[in-house]
A and B are shown apart, each in its own frame.
Chain A
Amino acid sequence: MTIAISIKDLDKTYANGVEALKGVSLEVQQGDFFALLGPNGAGKSTIIGVISTLINKSGGSVEVFGRSVDTHIYETKLDLGVVPQEINFSQFEKVKDIVLTQAGYYGLPRKLARERCEKYLKKLGLWEKRSERSRSLSGGMKRRLMIARALVHEPRLLILDEPTAGVDIELRRSMWNFLTEINADGTTIILTTHYLEEAEQMCRNIAIIDEGEIIENTSMKKLIGELDSQVYILDTANEMNGKPEITIDDVLIHRIDAHSLEVKVPNGQLINEVFKELDKQGLEISSMRNKTNRLEQLFLSRLRNNGND
């Protein structure tokens, strides 16, 4: 399988002496939906900056679809679409002009640029706003505009640096659907996000970076499989007088209030067994959810293992 991006021994030390990246090596396969996670200041945006040539690296190499970003500048840039963390378009230009200008930067003829502009503004629900100045858009619309702009030249690799930050849940979910759709159409996607639920839901592979080093690089499935237990919150339809008794091995139960229970179920145990026990005691479960996002538990445990409090 073709490798979309290959990073080897990447180092970056800023002028102020901060070592942002310490020998980062990473590979992302073509067609992958890849999550790059890490706490603030871990080096995620620096990696993206180096790939997109906005940041000069101190050492190491970066290849996009087998071509070095140092020696094949133009070819690698044509393959790349970047949605940065911060809004970076002119606040005074009209929505369609921002997308058309970007198309022009990539050498798209005017007719094709207009077609692509219409296509992506419609897909991202911005077509009705095309003649408005970008500063009048809401935060969520601005983020979608940046995605439309990054896609106008139809890159093979799309990098999104926290694309859903500050976006309400409804819009976030529509963006997830859109990104899943373009990934299914063949676009390789690298995503950094603070919403771990987002990464868990969409990404197939994951790398966790902390203090400039990759501390985990595996498939999402494998990582989630490492959880030794899961904690659920169960809401009961009827009122509980006391803590229900559960006799299943290693399952721990805690009464939160008269209508809620916290249940810790080790891997290998079925939650159905818990439901049966509760049912015997006359408790009807009306809803169930994970106490914390599963990936969040793993993410925090990896950071703790790496020396973070």
Chain B
Amino acid sequence: MFENHKFIAFETIVIREIRRFSRIWLQTLVPPAITIGLYFVIFGNLVGRRIGEMDGFQYMEFIVPGLIMMAVIQNSYSNVVSSFFSHKFQRSVEELLVSPIPNYVILMGFVVGGMARGLAVGAIVTTMSLFFADLSIQSFPITIAVVLMTSVVFSLAGFINAVFADSFDDISIIPTFVLTPLIYLGGVFYSIQMLPPFWQVVSSLNPIFYMVNTFRYGILGSSDIDVYWAFMIMGVFILVLYISCIWLLRHGTGIRN
């Protein structure tokens, strides 16, 4: 397949993915905006006023980066897992497998689709946060890089979940029992410095903790961790997940016979 043909195929997958989540915007874009809006009102505004400061920032300012990142993580993941599983369920994945598109182009198409939804919801949540807090971004490059890399990590993870899923239950187990606890324990609502040493070590094993803190560093200029180390961790995750996805596609796990 020529390079321009590959690009057309990639573009086709991305456009179809964006069209899919835009068509069902009441299910894909509105609910996360409402949920995160409620976090802003309840935790940031009502409870946050009583908490006062966290790491030298108003509590509302402190949680805004974490909540934006939470929206990006959940939506990147759920877009790819639900879309690819729907293709499997409706057997329309066969259209893709019969076509001459290389596996990496199929994967990139779905990942960029997941990123598009993650970033769209992230943008909505960021706009909403402006009603509750004054955001001044300290480092644009770090902020943009971490949000893009996080989105890639969770799009790839969603793809793996979809490949192994056999039912709609299987696509909600990981987000409910793994992703949500990791996000909540990843320093969205508190600083790791508040934890006893043992739990600080446990938290350092949570990859989402690095993503949230690096993003917070990009916006507020303050973080519990070394951001370069965090970028390296995200890079390793992307590499390992990408290789796993390509291996699964090549072997047809969950999608061929």
A associates with B:
yes
Q: Which of B12, B19, B91 is the one whose CB lies under 8 Å from A105?
A: B12
Instruction: Report the bound CA distance from A110 to B90 in whole Å.
Output: 25
| Interface pair A107/B6, CB less than 8 Å apart | yes
Q: Is B16 an interface residue (CB 8 A)?
A: yes
A residues contacting the other copy or chain, number (CB 8 A): 35
A63-91 vs B, CB cutoff 8 Å, 1 = contact: the mask equals: 00000000001110110101010111111
How many contacts A-B (CB < 8 Å)?
86
Pick out which of these stretches binds chain A: B38-46, B94-102, B203-211: B94-102
B11 contacts partner chain A, Cβ-Cβ < 8 Å: yes
Instruction: With CB as the reference atom, state the residue of chain A lying closest to B95.
Output: A102
Give chain A residues whose Cβ lies under 8 Å from the Cβ of B6: 107
Q: Name the residue of chain B whose CB is nearest to the CB of A87.
A: B91
B90 touches A91 (CB 8 A): yes
CB of A126 to closest CB in B, whole Å:
17
Partner of A80, one of B13, B96, B98, B252: B98
Q: Would you give the 0/1 interface string for B1-43, flagging 1 where the beta carbon is closer than 8 Å to chain A?
A: 1101110110111011001100100000000000000000000
B1–A107 CB distance below 8 A: yes
Known contacts A74-B1, A105-B95, A105-B99: does B12 contact A90 (CB below 8 Å)? no
Stretch at the interface among A48-56, A162-170, A195-203, A244-252: A48-56
- Is there contact, CB below 8 Å, between B9 and A104? yes
Q: How far is the CA of A108 from the CA of B12 in the complex (A)?
A: 10
* A92–B97 CA distance with the chains assembled, in angstroms: 20
Please give, as numbers and ranges, the residues of chain B lying within 8 Å of A82 by CB-CB distance.
98
Q: Which residue of the partner chain, among B9, B23, B86, B256, contacts A107 with CB atoms under 8 Å?
A: B9
Tally of B interface residues using CB under 8 Å: 32
The smallest beta-carbon distance between B18 and chain A, in angstroms, is 13
Give 1 or 0 for each of A104-117: 1 = CB within 8 Å of chain B CB. Answer: 11111110000000
Cα distance A54–B256 in the bound complex, in angstroms: 5
Query: A106–B5 contact, CB under 8 A?
Result: yes
Alpha-carbon distance between A49 and B256 when the two chains are bound, in angstroms: 9
| Contact A89-B4, Cβ < 8 Å, known A104-B11, A105-B9 | no
Point out the residue from B2, B86, B99, B257 that lies within 8 Å of A102, measured CB to CB.
B99
Distance A204 CA – B108 CA, assembled complex (angstroms): 44
| Interface: B92 (CB within 8 A) | yes
A149 CB within 8 Å of chain B: yes
Question: Considering the chains assembled together, what is the distance between the CA atoms of A86 and B91 in angstroms?
Answer: 9
Flag whether A101 is at the interface (Cβ < 8 A): yes
Is A275 interfacial (CB 8 A cutoff)? no
Contact partner, A104, options B1, B8, B252, Cβ 8 Å? B8
> Cα distance A93–B23 when bound, in Å?
10
Contact B5 A107 (CB under 8 A): yes
A178 interface residue (CB < 8 Å to B):
no
Additional A-B contact list (4), CB under 8 Å, known A52-B98, A88-B92, A90-B90: A53-B256, A55-B256, A78-B1, A89-B90
**8 A-B pairs (CB sep. < 8 Å):** A56-B252, A97-B19, A104-B11, A104-B12, A105-B100, A106-B5, A107-B8, A109-B8
B interface residue numbers (CB < 8 A to A)? 1-2, 4-6, 8-9, 11-13, 15-16, 19-20, 23, 86-87, 90-92, 94-102, 252, 256-257
The 3 closest A-B pairs by CB, nearest first: A107-B5, A104-B12, A88-B91
